[in-house]
Amino acid sequence: MDKRRYIATTPRGCADLLAEELRLLGVGPTRQRWGGAEFEGPLELAYAVCLWSRLANRVLLPLAEFDAHTPEALYEGVRSIDWSEHLDAHSTLAVDCQTLRSKISHSHYAALKVKDAIVDQFRARENARPSVDLRRPDLRINARISGTQATISLDLSGESLHRRGYRKEGSEAPLKENLAAAILLRAGWSEIAASGGSLLDPLCGSGTLVIEAALIAGDSAPGLTRTHFGFLKWKQHQPHIWQRQLEAARVRRRKGMQSIPTLMGCDCDEHAVQSARANAVRAQVDTHVQFEQRAVQDTPTPSDQSGLLVTNPPYGERLGDERALKALYADLGVVIKERFVGWKAAVFTGRPDLGRYISLRAVLVNKFNNGPIECRLLRFEVEQRYFTTPPSQADRKAPSEGAQMLINRLKKNRRILGRWARRGGIFCYRIYDADLPEYALAVDLYQGDEQWVHVQEYQAPASVDERRAKERLEEALAVLPEALEVDQEHIYFKVRQRQRGRAQYEKFDTSGVFHTVSEGTAKLLVNFTDYLDTGLFLDHRPTRLMIGQQARGKRFLNLFSYTGAATVHAGLGGAETTTSVDMSKTYLDWARRNLELNGLDGGRHELVQADCIDWIKRQRGARYDLIFLDPPTFSNSKRMQDHFDVQRDHVELLRVISSLLSEDGVLVFSNNFRRFKMDTEALPKLSTADITAQTIDKDFERNARIHACWKITHKPSG
């Protein structure tokens, strides 16, 4: 028997559930590792876990563990593995890397070293090498460096196992499928379904909880609807074993679906209900589930005497949502207590403080993470003895001493910065930037026909008590409307976290609501709900205005152009032509709308969807008099051919871009990497002047390292 060691990873809070699931799949003893479980067995067992696990993210096959205290040691350790046993020179590969407490702290750089070691081995042996495919490679390799220890594994799943294949690519779905399964299993759905109990989700969204419940009740392997696994093009793949697994799973599904209980989801949003129905069709459970458009107050009374009501209510983006959220949770509580007595209920929420408005005492509370949001699963027995009195929404605590200090600071900043902004004709600016360390927020004021406030929370250091940090955040959000004299409905809150790869392009919401604000002579569109950022980086305001002043008669190039705000300023400043390049169609459409808003929709303004680095290399003979370059700090987007690291790659990037710069042209280079150091010695033909101080306005003085900016020109020949 070919016995190997595997590691299955799972979301935080699910490790014990995963261990039990593996036991039921026939896996022997497991050992908790990497937020998951390590187990041993033949390849067929790993196939079974890939096909049947409802909870795992990935199934990894470790190939080697070795000391990797330096990048060179990592390279040599990877190269010592015989990669010809796993892929061919004509295969494609991708490398994922995580680093923890390692001197090799840059995961993108570590992934690049792993990739280099593999392709160099093939090049030396066969004078040919595998190519990189970040989206769907033939083989995905996982590198984990903890301290000085590196573990190199094959990712047998290929992409996260939460992707069952029944949700459309790019669809809005904040609850991942394996997390939904974990919620159901934690709430006891397996036992309820086995006894014939029903399930209802009164706020079903795209239907994930209901569909996962159907797969569990119908004994349907979640991997049956997937078309891709990471082992399918692996050289050691055993297709006959895999086909045997698939056929056995299909037999079990046909039998299990014959006795599935009643499953129903409701939502007030017609689009959400349509998405849920389409997802059910793709999951092949549409004949077993029902989705209806209903408000939560209109949730039907079940005919069954027992079952599970499970739901994931919204958490709210705007402070104005607070009143509506409290009412929603209160309405949910009324529905549960009036119509579902004798049932069990489970409410999964990122706002456990709102749970009290359900007016039902939880018998158990479980902790999970939904992405970066720490959530709670509130589990209820719907019995009279657990009913509680609804809290009075009129009951408001007086501000604490700290909150009062925050109010005073916000009012002071509004007064002082408001005068400065009015004198300079500035309508959008940062009004608070963690001035008080206890309240670590960035607060931006936007003024157009109305006033809006965009709030982002900085991640608290590990030394700060998590519970106290959350209390301070709630205090801060409670006092903002009064301190800034802005209606609650116009205050938007988001948690700021590092965005990697495609995350910078992914939506938070789908409101599609844009507002027009002014900046100098420009009119620009901002969106407060759908993305992490609003579409306008306020710290770049002086840089954009400077570009507008220098653009007259110039050929202007905007690389990594985002929503095209700098292009608008260049166009209004009299640029002869403008070219804006970005990978994201979403942002280029936004840029097009910004140009049209300012009457700049003629043929002189070109928008190009492309990988900027690849596009630059393909230009022959093009020349620009003014270039704005504002690249991401890191990027591993699937649209790019390789990882990008601004510190590592800036020299080569500037060399290539300078070939597009006219003899007397100016390149404005900005980036947001706080530890960035310009390698001027590696750029002997270019003159680099640090103009950061000129591009930091009064509203960002407290955070002057938010970006760095250089003016770059050709040195005189001779």
pLDDT at residue 505, rounded to an integer: 41
**Arithmetic mean of pLDDT, 281-301:** 96
Mean of the per-residue pLDDT values for the chain?
A: 90
413-459 pLDDT tens trace:
999 999 999 999 999 999 999 999 889 899 999 998 889 999 998 87
Residue ranges of the chain that CATH labels 3.30.750.80: 401-497
Out of 428-442, 471-485, 594-608, pick the least confident. Answer: 471-485
Judge whether residue 179 has pLDDT over 70.
yes
> What single letter denotes the amino acid at residue 419?
R
CATH number for the domain running over 401-497: 3.30.750.80
Q: Which residue has the tokens 């074993």?
A: 241
Q: Is the dihedral of CA 185, 187, 188, 194 positive or negative?
A: negative
Please give the CATH architecture assigned to the domain spanning 511-714.
3-Layer(aba) Sandwich (3.40)
Q: Stretch 101-107: mean pLDDT, rounded?
A: 83
Within 13 A of 250's CA, how many CA atoms are on the CB side? 7
Q: Does the structure show a pLDDT above 80 at 316?
A: no
**Res. 405: pLDDT tops 80:** yes
Architecture of domain 177-221+257-386: 3-Layer(aba) Sandwich (3.40)
So what's the pLDDT on residue 503?
41
pTM comes to: 0.67
Q: Using one digit for the tens of pLDDT, what is the confidence trace for 340-396? A: 999 999 999 988 888 989 999 999 999 888 877 788 999 999 999 999 887 764 455
CATH number of the 4-155 domain: 3.30.2130.30
Average pLDDT over residues 486-512: 60
Residue 171 confidence class, pLDDT cut points 50, 70, 90: very low
Evaluate whether 161 touches 57 at the Cβ level (below 8 Å).
yes
Please count the residues of the chain. 718
Please state whether beta strands 644-645 and 624-629 pair in parallel, antiparallel, or not at all (unpaired): unpaired
Residue extent(s) of CATH 3.40.50.150 domains in the chain: 177-221+257-386, 511-714
Q: What is the pLDDT of residue 639?
A: 41
Q: Is residue 637 pLDDT above 80, yes or no?
A: no
| 426: CB partners within 8 A, 6+ apart | 420, 519, 541, 697
**Per-residue confidence (pLDDT) for residue 320, from 0 to 100:** 54
pLDDT average, residue stretch 123-152: 94
At residue 315, the pLDDT reads: 79
Residues of CATH 3.30.2130.30 domain(s) within the chain? 4-155
pLDDT of 618 > 90? The answer is no
In this structure, of 574-578, 632-636, 700-704, the range with the lowest mean pLDDT score is 632-636
DSSP 543-577: HHHHHHHH-TT-EEEEES-TT-HHHHHHHHTT-SE
Candidate from 35-39, 494-498, 514-518, 613-617 with smallest mean pLDDT: 494-498
What would the mean pLDDT of 487-497 be, rounded to a whole number?
76
